[in-house]
Chain A
Amino acid sequence: MNGKLGLKHIVLGLVFLAILLFPLVWRSQYVIHIVTLVLLWSFVATAWSFMARFGIVSLGHGVFLGIGAYIPILLFNFGGLSPWIGMVVAIVAAVMMSMILGYPCFRFGLVGDYFALVTLAMAEVGSLVVVAYREYTGGSLGLTLKSSNRSWIDFQFDDKRAYYYIAMIFLLLALYLWRRIGKSKIQMALTAIGESELAAASLGVNVIKYKMLITMLSAGLTAMGGVLYGQYVTYICPETVSGVSVSLSVCFKAILGGMFDMLGPFIGTAIMVTLEEYIRISLGTKFSGVSEIIFGSAILVLIIFLPRGIFGSLKDLMVKKKHIERA
């Protein structure tokens, strides 16, 4: 990849162009809605993968998502504060939360299983807090965004395509950051830490600093995703934006596509969201839950047979092919 224009680049370029021009050309509101969701959730899945690809697995990203969804809506509904400012508040809150959680964990060497369990607990705490303060948040019944006519200022748009493009910009931002990090010291440091924390530390790598950096980044981005979700869907409840199931759902999307590759989460999300919609349509709401079962089982099978996800395994296959061709 020395800047030569390979097939891969052409395909990617076409896909990007398609995504860019798509809403201007396509008529169906519904399809635009689906792709918006794909872009949004890919963004969140990519944000999660920032941490996971280095071995820092969080099963509780719902807590950041929830912060992003609830804070701007609460501030707007009760205080008239523009959700753009709400977004900044939410991001700061999420980052601070990740610091409060992350620092002690990293400082005391909580890794792997135990760390995952802690994050799971935090996701549950997030849900419970929402339910406990139900006078403000509506508890398990959910919260609806008050509508306003001051479009841009209040992060509300009549033309849903605005959300589409914001989601696309968010995703591009995440991919850009992935690229930047990939070329930076952070990548090397975290890879070393992922292989052996002890070895890395003895080489002078500030383990805590790098883990904190990637965690804070992941948390902030996830919160942004939550903000966009809240503003777009306008109805949120603990089930959909915080808690264990949405946290796991995000993990699944990333793993399905392969969380070690930049476009893995996007592909995994695309597959999952479209299939979920398809199942929802064909089976109706009576069978709500079928898609979850299918995906849960698929992930199970995937983890057993294809630990690098679909995209990752395809890449491995390509690499193997190259080696065979060369040999």
Chain B
Amino acid sequence: MKYLVLGFLGAVLLKCWLDQRLNLLLHSNFHSLVLIAGLVLLMIAIAGFCSAKVSNKATKIWPLIVLSLTAMGLWIWPPKPSLSTLAANRSGAQLGQSELSFLSPPEQRSLTDWVRLLNSQPDPNLYGGDPVQVSGFVLDVPGKPPEIARLLVRCCLADATPVGLAVRWPKTKSSNGWPKPDQWLQIKGVMAVENHQGSLRSVLVAKQIKAIAAPTRPLEP
């Protein structure tokens, strides 16, 4: 029985690796570890079945139940986190100046590049009028217009921290014209300067908004 549970757990780890869910859960450094662990567990399970005659003590039943239920859950219920809910609980990442080693032209900068740049050289007047083309998910900010954001992950989803850009959304006839949280968007626009709570800050003036599918790798290192 225990080798069956072990083999099932190994198969689940392999499935997690195959179905790309690791892109949503872990930093890429850990993906191969999950694959290797799954293969090793499967091999151990096969080896255990071949030598199952040796059973020198009774295996406790509760670990088998807990791990079987967990493995079944992982198999049938893939992760579908609300990135906005996750990010709302966490303060934005403070990206150090040392992380900015190369500066691309404005229209080629990713959202994370922009946030890094704004953190390292915060004078908003430097970027006024720069063309911007970024993609990210809509991050709900209570009492304020939503931001366009990405999640940075060093280890796994547990340590994910959001980085976001303030957006001036186009006015529409609907109630507020703001997109729904968690929606993935590609935004084209220009960087502008606005007065925010008594100080100047950079804001992305959205001119063209396109709904896109969530990328295969939604987390950024």
Question: Do these two chains interact?
Answer: no
Chain B positions near chain A (C-beta within 8 angstroms): none
